[in-house]
């Protein structure tokens, strides 16, 4: 029972991070119908930027803010420069471009920062809380991750539901041509969507970095887990992404705990395939549309 | 891809008689090309140092995998980021059969056939799942496959060698070739022969009835279905053929490196296969060859270049990767048909000599559409 | 089993014959320059000797280990500045394999076939280097001083060209095991080891000395998978009083972090290859705010066959500090750079011994003469029928960020033999710090 509790808390902590990655994928999917494989590279880059600030003696929160800000900038620039030409093109083009971007970002980071893993601090103590006289694998840093992701989710929901800009973003994504006629600056909305999504990705990067170290390819697995979470949640809905992230985090933690850590990626593959085969629109989908 | 936008309706256009005659011509032509290529490769291999022969062998097995992927993506419209994992299946099958006790392992040919067959079988399963997925979903699922599959070996360390992998004794050249005959040259011969066989088989499939069916399915699934084609079956078949190629490539990989280990099949391998297919031009076998050659040669060139320019180790270690990435983006944005597209006109002229007026007109239409 | 072994041997011999053919061909290109004494071996010219190795310069095993080639190069430069070895300057090529066996196969072939090195020196890693041993022996390339403690480098019958250097993991495991069994008599002991030959050899040694019923957990990790929380939780749940780890530095650091998360203060005993305080300090620096970088590993116990870095009185440490100051000023002298320099010293000794016109067979024979203790605390096992390196270790503890050796050096064999103290005084380096001077 103790072990089950430990694994549950562990899963919750990593689930929050998968949820953040899933959120960033979902936002880009909603905005531009593109699955952003470069996300792993983008959040790696922003985490390295934060690392550089820390390494130069800057404070944690400065580095944290820099990661988010550079994430927004990076997302916007990427959308403008390499994604814009493949928006609306066959999906394969976008797949290849984002993969290419992933490779370029990893190579670039390797050139600048080297390919050795670097240590990255957590916002708060990584020592687990005491619960019933037992230290559980859930720390202040993990609690911060969960709260941060929850706040992001709330902000996004408010943005999309309650603000004019959010409404314009949704309109641009759903019906670009009509929106254009109605005076929505669709291109700008796409850029904004990418920027915000990359910012959420950057958050995931700094949150997960303490436990995987930072190196150009540290975050590949996170992308797979995040994608799995996004698919579980249906790729369309931010709340779905968060629930998907938590579910995937829990499932993988139990697998790792009860069957060994080498089963984790296989577990993710299993969940992914099962969901895609049985409910291709995610566990929470209401409508059934097939995107070709 | 311009190619994916093509609207084709071959099955309705081609008279059956013409198709049969064409396919016979195609077979003869492809055998001819393979024969010439074989002679050229033999001459090249004899002139090369052992290390260069090793690179030739690498190119040859990479070509097979890239060709399989290029066919799947370019002709059938299914994208896969998991072909590295399929190579792993072929490689582990081969390694098990080479090294398995008791008695001598299986003969080389049998091992390669088995690697091909087992991977094709895996292709049936994966292909059946893949046929239900589209575009980015398929890409994401196969990405997960690429990341997850190699870890199976860590789950079964006794059978699959864990992260240590399985090592084999390399197949030795027949004594008739003399004692001076380099092992690397022999392996290059085996790999090139495998590549040529794969080329002939694929080229015939592509040019034949099956190829047209695949293209039809790629271009418009609903139209294809209305024409009486079995869309899902066609997609699964394309995946199986593609997987078989990876199986053979994986088997040859083991022949050349004498090793099957999880580290040999990282996500980067799958990405580089796709990069080669895209660079070469999706759906083109010649392009696949060019792409495969490039991804073997780019690291070498970039190593030499960075050594000559005195670049730092960090830059040197990542230069090849950066070049792949930039090329991938550049190709999609600037030259969507890859190398094959750039050389397409010349190739086109040669090709059309063998094809009907009707087909040529169709190709043209495809290019502008 | 017997059948396989024979078949293996037959195949190897066949490969060997082929490789002779290959190298003979290769020599044709450059034989014009040779005089009456026959062509010099690949990698040797009148003015240079070129050797190379494969290392994880990238990836999870890179922290620490990527420093080793720098140590080798620095000592080579030091020797070159004093005229080289028999008038030949030493060149070193370090190629990156990322601790990935497939890449090791690739870069080793590149070293032998393209770079045409005279010998491999200090190719790093058990799972990696095992994949190229057959190739190197078939090609008759001296495979010197593999940077790994696998027992498998000492197979003179099957692999006459391969030589170990550092104390093998079994020997180290035995000595660490005896130490732990004595210090934690009757207590609960846990293992945390890398899931490959490296970890397995260590466990074999540990099991020879630690009573089986005292071992309450045997957890492993896969290099590359940073998720080790569940394993560490299991160790904690088993109530271990001490954790013995055969890990590479990144995983020693991850182990320590997972412990911190669980507020677990169980002491660690870590194998030599995973315990360099500078490397660990670098990996853990973000987690020890306000304190010395190595505060998280203070008190960790380990073993060493080289003098302690903190022992500045030791003439070998003095020598290597001097070399570092002159040729590697940007880097601190850590355990890995020391390792590289010590390996390089041993190589230079052997090359010196191989004479005016070194051949591949010549350097192998020179090593087999034995007596190559050099900077080591204990003698080497090299002899006519042994290709093994150092024969024991001394227990050490991390104190103020450096390893401090305690007790005396212990030696044993890689079998059932007893563990005995080694009491001979360590011979100092030659006056100029170059063998033969």
**What backbone torsions phi and psi does residue A135 show, to the nearest 5 degrees?**
-80, 120
* Same domain flag for C44 and C114: yes
Residues β-bridged to residue A168 = none
C39 to chain A, closest Cα gap in Å: 41
Interchain proximity A264–C227, CB inside 8 Å: yes
Q: From the list C62, C233, C289, which residue is nearest A137 (CB)?
A: C233
pLDDT at A195: 95
DSSP string, B251-283: HHHHHHHSEE-GGGS-HHHHHHHHHHHHHH-TT
C128 occurs within a structural domain:
yes
Q: What is the pLDDT of residue B365?
A: 55
CA A230 to centroid of chain Cα atoms: 9
Residue C386 lies in a domain: yes
The distance of Cα C315 from the centroid of its chain, to the nearest Å, equals 22
The helix (run of H) or strand (run of E) holding residue A243 is: helix A238-259
* CA A291 to mean position of chain CA atoms: 22
Q: Which of B49, B151, B172 comes nearest C14 by C-beta?
A: B172
So what's the pLDDT on residue B357?
55
Say how far apart CA A190 and CA A76 lie, in whole Å. Answer: 8
DSSP C272: G
8 Å CB contact between C323 and C341: yes
- Does residue C416 sit within a domain? no
| Whether C157 and C50 share a structural domain | yes
Half-sphere exposure of C309 (CA within 13 A, CB side): 22
Q: Cβ contacts of residue A197 below 8 Å, gap of 6+?
A: A23, A24, A25, A27, A28, A31, A36, A75
Asked if residue C308 lies in contact with residue C402, where contact means CB atoms within 8 angstroms, the answer is: yes
Residue pair C403/C277 in contact by the 8 Å Cβ criterion: yes
Determine the Cα–Cα distance for residues A2 and A6; give it in Å rounded to an integer: 6
pLDDT tens column, B219-266: 888 888 888 888 888 889 999 999 999 999 999 999 999 889 888 898
Q: What is the pLDDT of residue B3?
A: 41
Contact indicator for A102, A110 with CB cutoff of 8 Å: no
Which CATH number covers residue C296?
Answer: 3.40.50.2300
Q: At what angle do helices A91-113 and B267-280 cross, to 10 degrees?
A: 120
Q: How far is A60 from chain C (nearest CA, A)?
A: 10
Q: Cβ contacts (< 8 Å) between B312 and chain C: which residues?
A: none
Structure tokens belonging to residue C368: 């087999």
What is the rounded CA–CA span in Å between residue C235 and residue A137?
A: 13
d(CA A245, CA C284): 28
Total length of chain C: 437
Query: Read out DSSP for C130-165?
Result: TTTHHHHHHTT--EES-BS--GGG--TTT-TTB---
Strands C268-270 and C242-246 come out as: parallel
Q: A134-139 and A128-131 as β-strands: parallel, antiparallel, unpaired?
A: antiparallel
Separation between Cα atoms, residue A40 and residue A21, nearest integer Å: 9
Same domain, C186 and C266: yes
Distance CA B333, CA A89 (A): 11
Domain A2-278, what fold?
A: ABC transporter involved in vitamin B12 uptake, BtuC (1.10.3470)
Contact partners of A by the rule of 3+ C-beta pairs under 8 A? B, C
Contact check, Cβ <8 Å, B179/C222: no
What's the rounded Cα separation, in Å, for the pair B362 and C383? 76
Ramachandran area for residue C120 (φ above 0: left; ψ -120 to 50: alpha; else beta): beta
Q: Which residues of chain B have pLDDT under 50?
A: 1-14, 102-103, 367-369
Mark which residues 93-152 of A lie under 8 Å from B by CB: 93-97, 99-108, 110-115
Q: A132 Cβ partners below 8 Å, 6+ apart?
A: none
Q: At what angle do helices B267-280 and B83-99 cross, to 10 degrees?
A: 120
Report yes or no on C282 lying in a domain: yes
Domain assignment present for residue B39? The answer is yes
Most A CBs within 10 Å, among B4, B70, B143, B299, to test the A interface: B143
> Do the domain assignments include residue C16?
yes
What is the least distance, in Å, from the CA of B230 to any CA of chain A? Answer: 18
**B261 with C14: Cβ contact below 8 A:** no
Identify the CA nearest to C147 among candidates C77, C71, C221, C54: C54
In sequence order, what are the residues at sequence separation of 6 or more whose Cβ sits closer than 8 angstroms to the Cβ of residue A222?
Answer: A17, A18, A21, A40, A43, A204, A208, A212
Find out whether A112 and A91 touch, Cβ atoms under 8 Å: no
Say if residues B270 and B146 touch (Cβ distance below 8 Å).
yes
In a domain, B113, yes or no: yes
Residues linked to residue A139 through DSSP beta bridges, in sequence order: A128
Q: Which residue has the tokens 């014009």?
A: C32
Is the peptide bond preceding residue B102 cis, with omega within 30 degrees of 0?
Answer: yes
CB atoms within 10 A of CB A164: 7
Tell me the C-alpha distance between A116 and A110, whole Å.
9
Q: Give the DSSP H/E element, type plus range, for residue C393.
A: strand C392-399
Subunits with 3+ C-beta pairs closer than 8 A to C: A, B
Number of separate domains in chain B: 1
CA distances to C371, C379, C427 from C383, rounded to whole Å, are: 9, 12, 19
Q: Are residue C155 and residue C173 in the same domain, yes or no? A: no
Per-residue DSSP letter, C112: I
Which residue, C256, C286, C304, sits at the end of a domain?
C304
Domain hosting C72: range is: 5-167+314-390
Can you give the residue ranges of every domain in chain A? 2-278
Q: Are residues C37 and C149 in the same domain?
A: yes
Question: Are the beta carbons of C221 and A261 separated by less than 8 Å?
Answer: yes
3-state DSSP call for residue C60? coil
β-bridge partners, B364: none
Task: Show the domain range for B189.
Answer: 26-266
Q: Do residues C290 and C323 both lie within one domain?
A: no
Q: Hey, how many other C-beta atoms are within 10 angstroms of the C-beta on C279?
A: 24
φ/ψ (deg, to 5) at C209: -110, -30
ipTM: 0.86
**pLDDT digits 0-9 by tens, C105-130:** 999 999 999 999 999 999 999 989 99
Query: Phi/psi of residue C193, each to 5°?
Result: -135, 155
A110–C58 CB contact, under 8 Å:
yes
Cα separation of C365 and C370, whole Å?
9
The count of domains in chain C is 2
Residues 6 or more apart whose Cβ sits within 8 Å of residue B329: A82, A96, A97, A100, A101, A104
Q: Is the pLDDT of residue A249 over 90?
A: yes
- The rounded Cα C313 to chain-centroid distance in angstroms is 24
Closest CA to A264 of C195, C218, B265, B147: B147
* Secondary structure (H, E, C), C65-82: HCCHHHHHHHHHHHHHHC
**Is the separation of the CB atoms in A201 and A46 below 8 Å?**
yes
CA pair distance A198, A152, nearest whole angstrom: 13
My answer on whether C163 and C174 are in the same domain is: no
Q: Which DSSP category does C266 fall into?
A: -
Q: Which pLDDT does position C31 carry in this prediction?
A: 36
Q: At what angle do helices B50-70 and B183-207 cross, to 10 degrees?
A: 20
Kindly state the tokens that stand for B260: 């099957």
pLDDT of residue B23: 62
Indicate whether B291 belongs to any domain: no
Nearest one of B103, B166, B98, B93 to B123, comparing CA atoms = B93
Is C184:C176 a contact under the CB 8 Å cutoff?
no
* E strand intervals along C166-296: 189-194, 215-221, 242-246, 268-270
DSSP code at position C314: S
Report yes or no: C124 and C55 within 8 Å, Cβ to Cβ. yes
Phi, psi of A214 (to 5 degrees): -115, 120
Point out the residue among B164, B180, B181 whose CB comes nearest to the CB of C127: B164
User: Where does the pLDDT of residue A36 fall: very low under 50, low under 70, confident under 90, or very high at 90 and above?
Assistant: very high
Per-residue pLDDT of chain C (437 residues; tens, 9 = 90+): 343 444 444 444 444 434 443 443 443 343 333 344 568 899 999 999 999 999 998 888 888 899 999 999 999 999 999 999 999 999 999 999 988 888 999 999 999 999 999 999 999 999 899 999 999 998 899 999 999 999 999 999 999 999 999 999 999 999 999 999 999 988 999 999 998 888 999 999 999 999 999 999 999 998 778 888 888 988 988 999 999 999 999 999 999 988 988 888 899 999 999 999 988 988 888 776 534 467 888 999 999 999 998 888 899 999 999 999 999 988 888 899 999 999 999 999 999 999 889 999 999 999 999 889 999 999 999 999 999 999 999 999 999 888 999 989 999 988 888 999 998 888 999 988 888 76
Structural domain includes residue C309: no
φ, ψ dihedrals at A139, nearest 5°: -110, 180
Percent of chain A's residues with pLDDT above 70: 97
**For residue C15, what pLDDT is reported?**
43
The torsion defined by the Cα of B172, B175, B181 and B186, in degrees rounded to 10, comes to -40
Four-residue CA torsion sign, B135, B138, B141, B145:
negative
User: What count of CB pairs under 8 Å joins A to B?
Assistant: 163
- Average pLDDT taken over every residue of chain A: 89
pLDDT score of A35 more than 50: yes
Chain B residue numbers touching C56 (CB-CB < 8 A): none
Query: Which residue of A lies nearest to C61 if distances are taken between CA atoms?
Result: A116
Instruction: Measure the CA–CA gap between C345 and C343, rounded to whole angstroms.
Output: 5
- Is the alpha carbon torsion for B321, B323, B324, B330 positive or negative? positive
**B317 located within any domain:** no
Chains contacting chain B through 3 or more C-beta pairs under 8 A: A, C
Residue C409 · residue C392 · CB < 8 Å: yes
């Amino acid at each position: 029972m103790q072990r089950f509790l430990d694994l549950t808390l562990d899963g919750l902590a990593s689930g929050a991070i998968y949820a953040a990655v899933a959120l960033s994928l979902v936002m880009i999917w909603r905005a531009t119908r593109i699955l952003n494989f470069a996300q792993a590279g983008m959040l790696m880059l922003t985490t390295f930027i934060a690392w550089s600030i820390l390494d130069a003696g800057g404070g944690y929160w400065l580095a944290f803010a820099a990661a988010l800000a550079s994430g927004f900038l990076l997302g916007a620039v990427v959308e403008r420069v390499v994604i814009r030409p493949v928006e609306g093109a066959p999906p394969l083009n976008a797949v290849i471009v984002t993969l290419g971007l992933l490779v370029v970002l990893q190579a670039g980071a390797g050139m600048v920062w080297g390919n050795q893993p670097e240590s990255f601090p957590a916002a708060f103590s990584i020592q687990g809380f005491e619960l019933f006289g037992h230290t559980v694998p859930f720390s202040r840093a993990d609690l911060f991750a969960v709260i941060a992701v929850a706040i992001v989710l709330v902000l996004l929901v408010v943005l999309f539901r309650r603000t004019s800009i959010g409404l314009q973003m949704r309109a641009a994504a759903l019906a670009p041509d009509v929106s254009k006629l109605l005076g929505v600056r669709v291109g700008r909305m796409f850029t904004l969507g990418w920027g915000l999504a990359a910012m959420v990705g950057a958050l995931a990067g700094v949150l997960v970095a303490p436990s995987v170290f930072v190196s150009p390819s540290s975050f590949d697995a996170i992308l797979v887990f995040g994608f799995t979470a996004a698919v579980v949640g249906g790729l369309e809905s931010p709340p779905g992404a968060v629930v998907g992230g938590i579910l995937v985090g829990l499932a993988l933690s139990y697998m790792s705990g009860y069957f060994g850590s080498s089963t984790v990626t296989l577990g993710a593959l299993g969940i992914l395939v099962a969901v895609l085969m049985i409910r291709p629109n995610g566990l929470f989908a209401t409508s059934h549309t097939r995107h070709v | 891809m311009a190619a994916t936008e093509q609207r084709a309706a071959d099955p309705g256009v081609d008279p059956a008689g013409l198709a049969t005659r064409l396919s016979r011509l195609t077979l003869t032509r492809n055998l001819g090309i393979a024969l010439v290529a074989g002679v050229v490769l033999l001459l090249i291999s004899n002139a090369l140092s052992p290390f260069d022969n090793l690179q030739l062998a690498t190119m040859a097995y990479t070509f097979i995998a890239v060709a399989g992927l290029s066919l799947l993506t370019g002709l059938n419209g299914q994208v896969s980021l998991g072909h590295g994992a399929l190579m792993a299946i072929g490689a582990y099958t081969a390694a098990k059969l080479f090294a398995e006790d008791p008695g001598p392992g299986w003969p080389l040919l049998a091992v390669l056939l088995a690697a091909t067959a087992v991977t094709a079988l895996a292709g049936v399963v994966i292909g059946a799942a893949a046929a239900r997925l589209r575009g980015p979903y398929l890409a994401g699922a196969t990405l997960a496959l690429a990341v997850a599959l190699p870890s199976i070996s860590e789950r079964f360390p006794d059978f699959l060698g864990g992260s240590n992998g399985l090592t084999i004794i390399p197949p030795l050249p027949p004594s008739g070739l003399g004692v001076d005959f380099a092992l690397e040259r022999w392996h290059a011969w085996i790999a090139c022969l495998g590549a040529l066989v794969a080329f002939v088989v694929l080229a015939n499939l592509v040019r034949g009835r099956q190829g047209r069916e695949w293209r039809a399915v790629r271009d418009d699934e609903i139209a294809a279905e209305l024409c009486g084609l079995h869309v899902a079956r066609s997609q699964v078949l394309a995946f199986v053929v593609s997987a078989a190629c990876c199986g053979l490539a994986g088997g040859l990989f083991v022949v050349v490196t004498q090793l099957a280990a999880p580290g040999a099949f990282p996500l980067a391998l799958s990405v580089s296969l796709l990069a080669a297919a895209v660079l070469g031009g999706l759906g083109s076998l010649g392009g696949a060859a060019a792409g495969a050659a490039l991804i073997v040669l780019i690291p070498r060139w970039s190593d030499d270049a960075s050594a000559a320019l005195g670049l730092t180790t960090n830059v040197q270690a990542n230069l090849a990767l950066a070049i792949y990435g930039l090329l991938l983006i550049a190709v999609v944005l600037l030259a969507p048909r890859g190398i094959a597209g750039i050389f397409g006109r010349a190739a086109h002229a040669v090709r059309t000599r063998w094809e009907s007026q009707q087909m040529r007109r169709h190709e043209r239409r495809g290019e502008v559409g | 089993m017997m059948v396989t072994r024979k078949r293996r041997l037959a195949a190897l011999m066949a490969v060997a014959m082929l490789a002779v053919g290959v190298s003979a061909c290769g020599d044709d290109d450059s034989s014009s320059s040779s005089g009456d004494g026959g062509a010099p071996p690949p990698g040797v010219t009148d003015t240079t000797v070129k050797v190379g190795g494969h290392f994880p310069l990238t990836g999870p095993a890179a922290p620490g280990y990527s420093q080793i080639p720098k140590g080798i190069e620095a000592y080579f430069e030091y020797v070159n500045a004093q005229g080289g070895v028999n008038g030949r300057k030493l060149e070193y090529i370090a190629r990156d394999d990322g601790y990935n066996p497939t890449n090791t196969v690739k870069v080793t072939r590149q070293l032998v076939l393209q770079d045409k090195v005279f010998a491999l020196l200090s190719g790093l890693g058990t799972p990696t280097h095992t994949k190229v041993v057959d190739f190197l022996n078939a090609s008759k390339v001296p495979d010197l001083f593999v940077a790994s403690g696998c027992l498998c480098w000492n197979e003179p019958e099957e692999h006459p060209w391969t030589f170990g250097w550092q104390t093998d993991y079994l020997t180290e495991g035995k000595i660490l095991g005896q130490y732990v069994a004595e210090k934690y008599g009757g207590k609960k002991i846990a293992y945390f080891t890398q899931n490959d030959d490296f970890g397995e050899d260590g466990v074999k040694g540990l099991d020879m000395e630690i009573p089986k019923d005292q071992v309450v957990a045997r957890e492993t990790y896969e290099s590359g998978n940073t998720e080790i929380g569940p394993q560490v939780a299991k160790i904690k749940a088993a109530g271990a009083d001490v954790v013995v780890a055969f890990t590479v530095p990144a995983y020693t650091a991850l182990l320590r972090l997972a412990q911190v998360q669980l507020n677990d203060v169980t002491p660690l005993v870590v194998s030599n290859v995973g315990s360099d305080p500078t490397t660990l300090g670098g990996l853990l620096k973000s987690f020890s705010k306000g304190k010395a970088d190595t505060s998280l590993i203070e008190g960790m116990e380990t073993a060493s066959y080289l003098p302690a870095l903190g022992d500045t009185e030791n003439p070998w440490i003095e020598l290597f500090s001097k070399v570092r100051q002159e040729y590697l000023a940007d880097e601190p002298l850590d355990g890995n750079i020391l390792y590289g320099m010590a390996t390089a010293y041993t190589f230079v000794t052997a090359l010196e011994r191989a004479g005016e016109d070194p051949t591949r067979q010549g350097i192998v024979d020179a090593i087999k003469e034995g007596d190559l203790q050099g900077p080591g605390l204990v003698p080497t096992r090299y002899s006519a029928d042994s290709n093994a390196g150092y024969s024991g270790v001394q227990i050490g503890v991390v104190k103020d960020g450096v390893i401090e050796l305690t007790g005396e050096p212990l030696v044993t064999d890689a079998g059932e033999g007893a563990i005995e103290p080694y009491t001979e005084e360590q011979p100092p380096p030659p006056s100029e710090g170059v063998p033969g001077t």
